[in-house]
Amino acid sequence: MRRHLITGGAGFIGANLVRALRARGDAVLVVDDLSRGRREHLAESTGPEVQLIVADASETDSLRRAVGDARIDEVWHLAANSDIPAGVADLRVDLRHTFLTTAATLEVMRDVGAKVLHFASTSAVYGDFGERVASEDSGPLEPISNYGAMKLASEAQIRAACESFVERANVFRFANVVGVPATHGVILDFVRKLKASPGVLEVLGDGTQKKPYLHVGELVEAMLFVADRAQGRFNVVNIGPEDDGITVREIAEIVVGAFAPEAEIRYGREPRGWVGDVPRFRYALERLRALGWRSEASSHSAIQLAVREIGQQEGWTTCRP
């Protein structure tokens, strides 16, 4: 039985990954500080093969104690700040939660002899590529958010560790990921705003921002697919849908259409929603396809599915099924 350590494993993506690994019959040790993660997120994955230890993965000593003497075959490092604007306002947020968690994870891996690492990185490492298509070998990487910068910093440290104690590392650069349990993100934000004031939806930015979205179910499938097949010692792989994405305007219309068809949508004036927001983004997916994986859902259907799921999570029934 393979044993996995998942940092941030009680969060949005982590909870889905835990379920998928349990379905394979693997054992999972989750370390999560429950700042955004929730114990309930793991409710479907109970049993002696799933263990949750509440600890701060940015502190090497805490993480080391949490891991204890458990044998660890693979590490999935997901712990990170997921509130990008918060990280722009306070430099320490991403430094600590997005980067120092990586530094601590690597140090603990060296300590306990864990050799295989999977890392949740992001398209934010590319920065604003404009109309250029971002491939894994593209340069220069110019992240415009502290979140993207600290993910890039993490990638760099993982790359260097592959020269010594890490024997295999997969770096997944995610598109925007949607689904449940939602802890943050544009859909949850819209649903909550609309629930608070059903007559109007205020949108940050002018709604023209267009980005690719993947459903978390497909994301987890893709990560496991790559983890089973990638051959190199250090692999960087974009994971996203096959299309160019969907605009914030369309997302707003889907949410309003689902829950409050009479509501007025009000847009801001700026093409960016906030400092560090990239208005458009185009992914190269050749590497992922060459390994043999393609997403089935479009950004549009991923959003539609997630809107229904998140509505349900928030106690709303959709107007239209």
Provide the binding-site residues for its own copies, judged by CB under 8 A. 88, 91-92, 95, 99, 103, 106-107, 110, 125, 127, 136-146, 148-150, 152-153, 156-157, 159-161, 163-164, 234, 236, 275-276
Q: Which amino acid, one-letter code, is at 43?
A: A
Nearest approach in angstroms of CB 129 to its own copies is: 12
Q: Which lies closer to its own copies via its Cβ, residue 187 or residue 236? A: 236
Q: Which lies closer to its own copies via its Cβ, residue 42 or residue 236? A: 236
Alpha helices in 162-291 (DSSP H): 186-196, 216-229, 248-259, 286-291
Helix, strand or coil for residue 232? coil
Q: Which lies closer to its own copies via its Cβ, residue 162 or residue 291? A: 162
Q: Which lies closer to its own copies via its Cβ, residue 43 or residue 160? A: 160
DSSP conformation class of 3:
E
Nearest approach in angstroms of CB 272 to its own copies is: 10
Nearest approach in angstroms of CB 176 to its own copies is: 19
- Measured CA to CA, the distance from residue 61 to residue 157 in angstroms comes to 19
Nearest approach in angstroms of CB 55 to its own copies is: 19
Sign (positive/negative) of CA torsion 240, 187, 121, 71?
negative
Q: How many CA atoms lie within 13 A of 86 on its CB side?
A: 13
Q: Which lies closer to its own copies via its Cβ, residue 159 or residue 168? A: 159
Nearest approach in angstroms of CB 169 to its own copies is: 11
Sign (positive/negative) of CA torsion 269, 270, 271, 275?
negative
Nearest approach in angstroms of CB 83 to its own copies is: 15
Q: Which lies closer to its own copies via its Cβ, residue 43 or residue 156? A: 156
| The two structure tokens encoding residue 184 | 């943050």
DSSP conformation class of 268:
-
Count the Cβ atoms, other than its own, within 10 Å of residue 157.
Answer: 15
